[in-house]
Amino acid sequence: MKSVALLDYGSGNLHSAQRALARVGADVTVTSDPKIALAADGLVVPGVGAFAACMEGLLEVKGDRLIGQRLAGGRPVLGICVGMQIMFDRGVEFGVEADGCGEWPGTVERLQAEVLPHMGWNTVRAPEKSVLFDGIDVDTRFYFVHSYAVQKWEMPVGDTIAAPLLTWADHGGDFLAAVENGPLSATQFHPEKSGDAGAELLKNWVESL
Q: Is 60 exposed, middle or buried (0-12, 13-18, 19+ CB in 10 A)?
A: exposed
Looking at the chain, the number of H-run helices and the number of E-run strands are 6, 13
Active-site residue among 103, 180, 192, 200? 192
Q: Is 190 a catalytic residue?
A: yes
Active-site residue among 54, 81, 103, 200? 81
Active-site residue among 118, 146, 171, 190? 190
E runs forming strands in the chain? 3-7, 27-31, 42-45, 77-80, 88-93, 96-99, 104-110, 118-123, 141-146, 148-150, 165-170, 174-181, 184-187
Q: Is 81 a catalytic residue?
A: yes
How many Å apart are CA 50 and CA 148, to the nearest integer? 9
Cα 33 to Cα 78, 91, 119, 142, 200, distances in angstroms: 17, 26, 33, 31, 28
Q: What is the largest CA-CA distance in the chain?
A: 45
- Residues in the chain, total: 209
Q: Give the H/E segment covering residue 202.
A: helix 195-208
DSSP 125: B
Q: Give the H/E segment covering residue 21.
A: helix 14-23
Q: Is 171 a catalytic residue?
A: no
Q: Which residues are catalytic, by number?
A: 81, 190, 192
